[in-house]
Structure 1
Amino acid sequence: MKNYFFILFSILLISCQLERRPKGSFFDFVPKEDTTCLKDISEAKKDLENGKLTYCHYSGNIISHYLRSQKELIKILKENNIDFRNEGSSCIVYDDQTEHCYCKLMEEKINQKYGEKFIDSLLNIADEKYLMNHINDTLYYADCDTRPNYPNDKDDSNDEYSEVMQNEIDRTLIYPKGYIQRPNYEVSAFVDISFNVDKNGNGKIKNFWFLFDIKSNHKFEKYFESELNRIIKREGWKPAQIRKQNVNSSMVMRYGFK
């Protein structure tokens, strides 16, 4: 019985605390110690007073991830009187400091004015326009929803390695006399092969870039180019896709030498 009254008292206490909590936006009640957030809020409020709304895309920090449809989105946002901003993150996190308050406050105001699904609908429209505008271009594989894949390779990982291609070349490649094999995996010996893969699954080798820590192996680059051109398949690739449509794309794949 005592437990019952304790639980009931706890619920009433929490309810009272919620009722005393200030109503309105979280950004109206930021602690004075959070100077990073307060500075952002001050900037946002000044822009809002001037009738300016901004949509922020969070692009990361060390590795930036920009929208492929940024150009199309900026145009659509402008038609709706909304600006665009790429928002990066700091690599250092400070105690009691909140990042991105400008963007979060702007997101709140956009949602209040247009509804929470409004920006998502614009992002979808912009991405559709991007595909229409570039349907016949050769696109960078990382900008595609799925990368092109080597013939008979079922691995859809978004990296530059194909186990199928690696094994296929390993079985066939003849090493020239004088080539020095690497003593361990700490020693680099590889080639990055640049391809263009069209929407019909035809691959074309553009160029090779070799790295050998054992410098004397560089003299065999032309030989290896000839061998790789002989072995690597050109037909039967799985094309890259955007929005479930095949597209032309560039691709870099790495082969590791012995």
Structure 2
Amino acid sequence: MMSNTGVKATIFSSIIILTCFTMKNKRFENRSESFYQTKSDTMSESMMIEMRKWMEEERKYWGSACQEETKKAKEDIRKNKLVFFHYFGVVEQYKGNREMNELLKKYNIEVDSVLTYCTVPSNLQNCYANVMSEEIDRKFGSKFIDSLRNVAEIEYVKKNPDKIYRFEECDWVSRYPGDKSYEEFSKSYERDFWKDAEYPDDFEVRNGKELYSSISAGFILYKTGKTSDIKIDITFQNKKNYRYSSYFINELKKFIQKTKWVPAKSSGIPVNSEMRMTIHFK
């Protein structure tokens, strides 16, 4: 048998879904006003009252849980216990988590992880972790964790010299020669590509109503500056232009191979990386 809490959660979820559906479809009210008015009416006042009660019960639950967690954290701190928490969903974006954990152990700081809930007020969740975080900052300084994270990520890169890093795992600096910033990156290679590649005389440009046509490439850029595994995709909105696919594909492949790419860096160290680039047709 489903518990009262489960029933209320189901009712609440249904109301939220129905509410979102109604809100998202405001633009259709003129077409079928009576239909949406009926749906709105079905969300009776009693259901709205039930929803508010459920929300209040949830807030009381999390408030009580927060008080207990805060009390437990303070008791543990008095016993000289400190815990650093990885936040699930955030931990994946960092490299060197194992190295980070080892560094923390040197300071007698334990490691754990927690979830973050989007439907729970931030001040009422992970209260134990929050108190511990404040104590670590108080004891070691506000920049302590960030400094350890930097050291951990550098150690990770050094331990994995042959890894091919995803584009987003690398430092946000340009990999195109001559650029002074990452913002110049896409503009520079597209500009230089069209210095050599030419449009065939009967190439049909877009007429303003079509979407842009484009050619994209993905390849591996090694820390030596060499490239490999070049894969190219091309899309023409005007189907007649596909007759020039091989020409543009060969031009882009030659451009990639002759360019003296600047190796990517991760934590300031040159690494092998994935590269992506897209060039648009006129």
TM score, norm. by length of structure 2: 0.60
Aligned position for 1:246: 270
**Deviation at 1:65?**
7.1
Number of residue pairs matched by the alignment: 220
Aligned position for 1:66: 93
List per-residue Cα deviations over 1:80-106 (Å, max 9, x = no partner).
45224376573x797x96665453223
Q: Does residue 188 of structure 2 align to residue 164 of structure 1?
A: yes
Aligned position for 1:53: 83
The correspondence of residues 78-157 of structure 1 with structure 2, limited to 5 A, is 80-85=108-113, 90=118, 101-111=127-137, 116-157=142-183
**Deviation at 1:123?**
1.6
Mark the runs of 5 or more structure 1 residues left unpaired by the alignment.
1-31
Distance in 2 of aligned mates of 1:245 and 1:185: 46
Distance in 1 of aligned mates of 2:181 and 2:235: 25
Tell me the C-alpha RMSD between the 2 structures: 3.9
Aligned position for 1:226: 250
User: Which structure: greater helix fraction?
Assistant: 2
**Deviation at 1:126?**
1.1
Conserved? CA contact 2:116–2:125, under 8 Å: no
Conserved? CA contact 1:74–1:83, under 8 Å: yes
Query: 1:162 aligns to what SS in structure 2?
Result: helix
Distance in 2 of aligned mates of 1:219 and 1:121: 55
List per-residue Cα deviations over 1:67-86 (Å, max 9, x = no partner).
12234324544674522437
List per-residue Cα deviations over 1:43-69 (Å, max 9, x = no partner).
565577786724245866xxx971122
Distance in 1 of aligned mates of 2:139 and 2:75: 15
* Corresponding letter in the other structure for 2:85: Y
Distance in 1 of aligned mates of 2:280 and 2:206: 11
* Corresponding letter in the other structure for 1:169: F
Q: 1:119 to 1:168 in 2, by over 3 A?
A: closer
Percent of residue pairs identical: 26
Query: 2:258 aligns to what SS in structure 1?
Result: coil
Aligned position for 1:202: 226
Distance in 1 of aligned mates of 2:142 and 2:60: 27
**Deviation at 1:142?**
1.7
Q: 1:234 to 1:148 in 2, by over 3 A?
A: farther
Distance in 2 of aligned mates of 1:176 and 1:86: 58
Q: 1:126 to 1:41 in 2, by over 3 A?
A: farther
Mark the runs of 5 or more structure 2 residues left unpaired by the alignment.
1-57
Distance in 1 of aligned mates of 2:99 and 2:210: 45
Q: 1:119 to 1:132 in 2, by over 3 A?
A: same
* Corresponding letter in the other structure for 2:236: F
List per-residue Cα deviations over 1:175-230 (Å, max 9, x = no partner).
34664322238613112211222223334462113333444544543332112123
